[in-house]
A and B are shown apart, each in its own frame.
Chain A
């Protein structure tokens, strides 16, 4: 079982550039979550999809952030334009099957915006 896959693992970009983070959830899981981790705020939920439909995007910081889930095996989180304060580790997690209350996290993408 491959687990949740995220790419890239590290991203360094300049302010104003577009950034796209990618996630492949565990096969068979029907819920997908995007989180952001910073020193100041800890782990925060950005957006939650269920059966590929966005259910709760109240954690998305502002319009510069957008997320899509075109099918059950792929999701993207896009930041356009990026700013230095977006620097953080972004985690994708999925949930489903018999362990319905537990979320399984990917390894994260460390984003640095210069």
Chain B
């Protein structure tokens, strides 16, 4: 049972336009969400995160939106650049009984291609 779903395996966007990557989750206990970016032959690198007490977090060209009622989050990249071409993973965590958020559940990723 996939608790974090990225339903679009790939997305192609023109340079300068907006990229919107989507993620849905089923576990209502998730309270912290992260996006990671992965280039070929490298490990995932942290991009941006959001706590469930917020509905938006912005960092430069990257903004993450969280809709708790819909159990949906999205990553917006504006403007998109060719160097943004990578696989983007959505991840979620829930606080365990000890108060720790250590376990990340990942989606399967979306390959973003930004065309010059």
Contacts and interface: CB of A to CB of B under 8 A. Distances in A.
B103 A103 contact: no
Most interface-central of B43, B44, B102 (chain A CB within 10 A): B43
Given A42-B109, A43-B89, A101-B32, A55 B102 contact: yes
Contact of A107 (B32, B34, B41): B41
A45 B101 CA distance: 13
B93 interface: yes
Interface string B76-116: 00000000000001000100000001111011110000000
Contacts of A43: 44, 89, 106
Given A42-B108, A101-B34, A101-B93, A48 B46 contact: no
Interface secondary structure of A, over-half rule: strand
Contacts of A106: 43
B49 interface: yes
B104 A45 contact: yes
Interface residues of B, number: 20
Q: Place the interface of chain A in its size category.
A: 20 to 34
Contacts of B89: 43
Given A43-B106, A91-B44, 6 more contacts: A43-B89, A50-B102, A56-B103, A101-B32, A101-B49, A102-B49
Interface of A: 4, 31, 33, 42-45, 48, 50, 55-56, 91, 93, 95, 99, 101-108
26 contacts: A33-B102, A42-B108, A42-B109, A43-B106, A48-B102, A55-B102, A56-B102, A56-B103, A91-B43, A91-B44, A93-B43, A99-B46, A101-B32, A101-B34, A101-B49, A101-B93, A101-B101, A102-B46, A102-B49, A103-B46, A103-B104, A105-B44, A105-B45, A107-B43, A108-B42, A108-B43
